[in-house]
Structure 1
Protein backbone atom coordinates (compact mmCIF):
# COMPACT_ATOMS: atom_id res chain seq x y z
CA UNK A 1 0.00 0.00 0.00
CA UNK A 2 1.09 3.53 -0.69
CA UNK A 3 -0.29 6.26 1.56
CA UNK A 4 -1.10 8.63 -1.30
CA UNK A 5 -2.82 6.08 -3.57
CA UNK A 6 -6.61 6.47 -3.73
CA UNK A 7 -7.22 2.79 -4.48
CA UNK A 8 -4.84 1.59 -1.76
CA UNK A 9 -6.84 3.74 0.65
CA UNK A 10 -10.08 2.14 -0.58
CA UNK A 11 -8.57 -1.32 -0.02
CA UNK A 12 -7.54 -0.25 3.49
CA UNK A 13 -11.10 0.91 4.25
CA UNK A 14 -10.05 4.54 4.68
CA UNK A 15 -12.24 5.71 1.80
CA UNK A 16 -15.71 4.23 1.23
CA UNK A 17 -16.64 2.45 -1.98
CA UNK A 18 -19.64 0.49 -3.20
CA UNK A 19 -18.09 -2.98 -3.39
CA UNK A 20 -19.76 -5.41 -5.79
CA UNK A 21 -17.26 -8.30 -5.62
CA UNK A 22 -14.23 -9.21 -3.53
CA UNK A 23 -11.71 -12.03 -3.43
CA UNK A 24 -8.65 -12.55 -1.27
CA UNK A 25 -6.54 -10.43 -3.61
CA UNK A 26 -8.97 -8.38 -5.76
CA UNK A 27 -11.64 -5.77 -5.14
CA UNK A 28 -14.40 -4.58 -7.50
CA UNK A 29 -16.39 -1.43 -6.83
CA UNK A 30 -18.65 0.99 -8.69
CA UNK A 31 -16.97 3.91 -10.48
CA UNK A 32 -18.25 7.19 -9.05
CA UNK A 33 -17.96 8.78 -12.50
CA UNK A 34 -19.78 6.01 -14.38
CA UNK A 35 -19.67 6.20 -18.19
CA UNK A 36 -22.27 3.46 -18.74
CA UNK A 37 -25.18 1.91 -16.82
CA UNK A 38 -22.66 -0.59 -15.42
CA UNK A 39 -19.18 0.75 -14.71
CA UNK A 40 -17.19 -1.22 -12.16
CA UNK A 41 -13.49 -0.86 -11.36
CA UNK A 42 -11.54 -4.05 -10.67
CA UNK A 43 -8.22 -3.75 -8.84
CA UNK A 44 -5.66 -5.99 -7.23
CA UNK A 45 -5.42 -5.26 -3.52
CA UNK A 46 -1.65 -5.09 -3.88
CA UNK A 47 -0.33 -1.87 -5.40
CA UNK A 48 0.99 -2.09 -8.97
CA UNK A 49 1.24 1.08 -11.04
CA UNK A 50 -0.33 -0.23 -14.24
CA UNK A 51 -1.30 -3.41 -16.06
CA UNK A 52 2.15 -3.78 -17.65
CA UNK A 53 3.87 -3.60 -14.26
CA UNK A 54 1.40 -6.10 -12.83
CA UNK A 55 1.91 -8.54 -15.70
CA UNK A 56 5.68 -8.52 -15.16
CA UNK A 57 5.61 -8.60 -11.35
CA UNK A 58 2.83 -11.15 -10.82
CA UNK A 59 1.28 -12.82 -13.89
CA UNK A 60 -0.89 -15.02 -11.67
CA UNK A 61 -2.43 -11.99 -9.99
CA UNK A 62 -2.98 -10.42 -13.41
CA UNK A 63 -4.99 -13.50 -14.35
CA UNK A 64 -6.99 -13.30 -11.14
CA UNK A 65 -7.81 -9.65 -11.89
CA UNK A 66 -9.16 -10.74 -15.28
CA UNK A 67 -11.13 -13.55 -13.65
CA UNK A 68 -12.66 -10.99 -11.30
CA UNK A 69 -13.60 -8.83 -14.30
CA UNK A 70 -15.43 -11.83 -15.79
CA UNK A 71 -17.15 -12.58 -12.47
CA UNK A 72 -18.31 -8.96 -12.19
CA UNK A 73 -19.67 -9.00 -15.76
CA UNK A 74 -21.60 -12.18 -14.98
CA UNK A 75 -22.91 -10.84 -11.67
CA UNK A 76 -23.97 -7.56 -13.30
CA UNK A 77 -25.85 -9.37 -16.11
CA UNK A 78 -23.53 -8.26 -18.91
CA UNK A 79 -22.48 -11.63 -20.30
CA UNK A 80 -25.39 -12.04 -22.74
CA UNK A 81 -25.19 -8.73 -24.60
CA UNK A 82 -21.47 -8.10 -24.09
CA UNK A 83 -19.28 -5.66 -22.27
CA UNK A 84 -15.87 -4.05 -22.40
CA UNK A 85 -12.88 -4.41 -20.08
CA UNK A 86 -10.51 -1.45 -20.37
CA UNK A 87 -7.08 -0.98 -18.80
CA UNK A 88 -5.73 2.54 -19.33
CA UNK A 89 -1.94 2.69 -19.05
CA UNK A 90 0.05 5.90 -18.67
CA UNK A 91 -0.90 9.48 -19.36
CA UNK A 92 -1.47 9.08 -23.11
CA UNK A 93 -3.59 6.00 -22.38
CA UNK A 94 -5.87 8.03 -20.11
CA UNK A 95 -4.77 6.55 -16.78
CA UNK A 96 -5.75 8.91 -13.96
CA UNK A 97 -5.14 6.75 -10.87
CA UNK A 98 -1.76 5.03 -10.96
CA UNK A 99 -2.88 1.77 -9.36
CA UNK A 100 -3.77 -0.77 -12.02
CA UNK A 101 -7.50 -1.06 -12.56
CA UNK A 102 -9.77 -2.56 -15.15
CA UNK A 103 -13.00 -0.84 -16.09
CA UNK A 104 -15.86 -3.29 -16.67
CA UNK A 105 -18.42 -1.30 -18.66
CA UNK A 106 -21.69 -2.27 -20.29
CA UNK A 107 -25.44 -2.22 -20.02
CA UNK A 108 -25.95 -0.43 -23.35
CA UNK A 109 -24.30 -0.37 -26.79
CA UNK A 110 -20.88 1.19 -26.22
CA UNK A 111 -20.19 2.53 -29.71
CA UNK A 112 -16.78 2.81 -31.33
CA UNK A 113 -13.76 1.77 -29.35
CA UNK A 114 -11.95 5.10 -29.72
CA UNK A 115 -13.25 8.60 -30.19
CA UNK A 116 -11.69 10.87 -32.82
Structure 2
Protein backbone atom coordinates (compact mmCIF):
# COMPACT_ATOMS: atom_id res chain seq x y z
CA UNK A 1 0.00 0.00 0.00
CA UNK A 2 1.15 3.54 -0.67
CA UNK A 3 1.28 6.09 2.17
CA UNK A 4 2.23 9.61 3.16
CA UNK A 5 2.19 9.22 6.95
CA UNK A 6 2.68 6.21 9.23
CA UNK A 7 -0.96 6.54 10.33
CA UNK A 8 -1.95 5.70 6.74
CA UNK A 9 -0.46 2.23 7.39
CA UNK A 10 -1.25 1.62 11.07
CA UNK A 11 -4.95 2.32 10.51
CA UNK A 12 -5.19 -0.92 8.51
CA UNK A 13 -2.21 -3.07 9.63
CA UNK A 14 -0.66 -3.09 13.13
CA UNK A 15 3.11 -2.69 13.67
CA UNK A 16 3.76 -0.86 10.40
CA UNK A 17 5.28 2.45 9.33
CA UNK A 18 5.45 4.55 6.21
CA UNK A 19 8.86 4.20 4.56
CA UNK A 20 9.64 5.70 1.14
CA UNK A 21 5.89 6.17 0.51
CA UNK A 22 5.18 2.46 1.09
CA UNK A 23 3.83 0.65 4.16
CA UNK A 24 6.46 -1.60 5.76
CA UNK A 25 6.78 -3.57 8.98
CA UNK A 26 8.15 -1.43 11.80
CA UNK A 27 11.31 -2.03 13.85
CA UNK A 28 11.80 -5.64 14.90
CA UNK A 29 8.69 -6.88 13.08
CA UNK A 30 8.76 -9.02 9.93
CA UNK A 31 6.23 -9.47 7.14
CA UNK A 32 4.34 -12.72 7.61
CA UNK A 33 1.84 -12.28 4.80
CA UNK A 34 0.36 -9.28 2.95
CA UNK A 35 -1.74 -8.26 5.97
CA UNK A 36 0.37 -9.14 9.05
CA UNK A 37 3.61 -7.99 10.66
CA UNK A 38 4.86 -10.22 13.51
CA UNK A 39 7.82 -10.05 15.89
CA UNK A 40 10.99 -11.65 14.54
CA UNK A 41 11.72 -15.04 16.06
CA UNK A 42 14.99 -16.87 16.60
CA UNK A 43 16.11 -18.14 13.20
CA UNK A 44 14.44 -15.33 11.22
CA UNK A 45 16.54 -13.25 8.84
CA UNK A 46 17.93 -9.88 9.97
CA UNK A 47 20.37 -7.12 9.04
CA UNK A 48 21.10 -5.74 12.53
CA UNK A 49 20.64 -6.89 16.13
CA UNK A 50 17.97 -4.28 16.91
CA UNK A 51 15.64 -6.09 14.48
CA UNK A 52 15.74 -9.28 16.57
CA UNK A 53 13.86 -8.01 19.61
CA UNK A 54 15.00 -8.10 23.21
CA UNK A 55 18.20 -6.08 23.38
CA UNK A 56 21.05 -8.04 24.96
CA UNK A 57 19.40 -11.44 24.63
CA UNK A 58 19.15 -11.73 20.85
CA UNK A 59 21.67 -10.68 18.21
CA UNK A 60 21.85 -10.68 14.45
CA UNK A 61 24.66 -13.12 13.65
CA UNK A 62 25.38 -14.05 10.03
CA UNK A 63 22.06 -12.37 9.08
CA UNK A 64 20.03 -14.65 11.40
CA UNK A 65 18.44 -13.78 14.78
CA UNK A 66 20.31 -15.84 17.39
CA UNK A 67 20.85 -15.90 21.14
CA UNK A 68 23.61 -13.63 22.39
CA UNK A 69 26.85 -14.97 23.90
CA UNK A 70 26.08 -16.51 27.29
CA UNK A 71 22.49 -17.41 26.31
CA UNK A 72 20.95 -20.49 24.71
CA UNK A 73 17.75 -21.17 22.81
CA UNK A 74 15.00 -22.76 24.89
CA UNK A 75 11.61 -23.90 23.62
CA UNK A 76 8.74 -24.58 25.98
CA UNK A 77 6.99 -27.67 24.64
CA UNK A 78 4.44 -27.52 27.48
CA UNK A 79 3.03 -24.14 26.50
CA UNK A 80 3.90 -24.15 22.79
CA UNK A 81 5.56 -20.76 23.27
CA UNK A 82 8.06 -19.38 20.77
CA UNK A 83 11.71 -20.19 21.48
CA UNK A 84 13.44 -17.76 23.82
CA UNK A 85 16.96 -17.06 25.00
CA UNK A 86 17.88 -18.05 28.56
CA UNK A 87 21.18 -17.62 30.39
CA UNK A 88 23.60 -20.56 30.22
CA UNK A 89 24.62 -21.78 33.68
CA UNK A 90 27.27 -24.21 34.93
CA UNK A 91 26.15 -27.77 34.34
CA UNK A 92 24.23 -26.98 31.12
CA UNK A 93 25.18 -29.17 28.16
CA UNK A 94 27.05 -27.44 25.35
CA UNK A 95 27.45 -28.35 21.69
CA UNK A 96 30.46 -26.15 20.99
CA UNK A 97 33.19 -24.41 22.99
CA UNK A 98 31.63 -20.99 22.27
CA UNK A 99 28.64 -21.99 24.43
CA UNK A 100 30.79 -21.93 27.57
CA UNK A 101 33.46 -19.37 26.63
CA UNK A 102 31.76 -16.57 28.61
CA UNK A 103 32.22 -18.47 31.90
CA UNK A 104 35.52 -17.71 33.59
CA UNK A 105 37.78 -20.70 32.91
CA UNK A 106 34.83 -22.56 31.33
CA UNK A 107 35.52 -25.51 29.02
Give the TM-score range, shorter chain.
Answer: under 0.3
Bigger CA radius of gyration: 2
Task: Judging by fraction of residues, say which structure has more helix.
Answer: 1
Structure 1 length normalisation: TM-score?
Answer: 0.25
Structure 2 length normalisation: TM-score?
Answer: 0.26
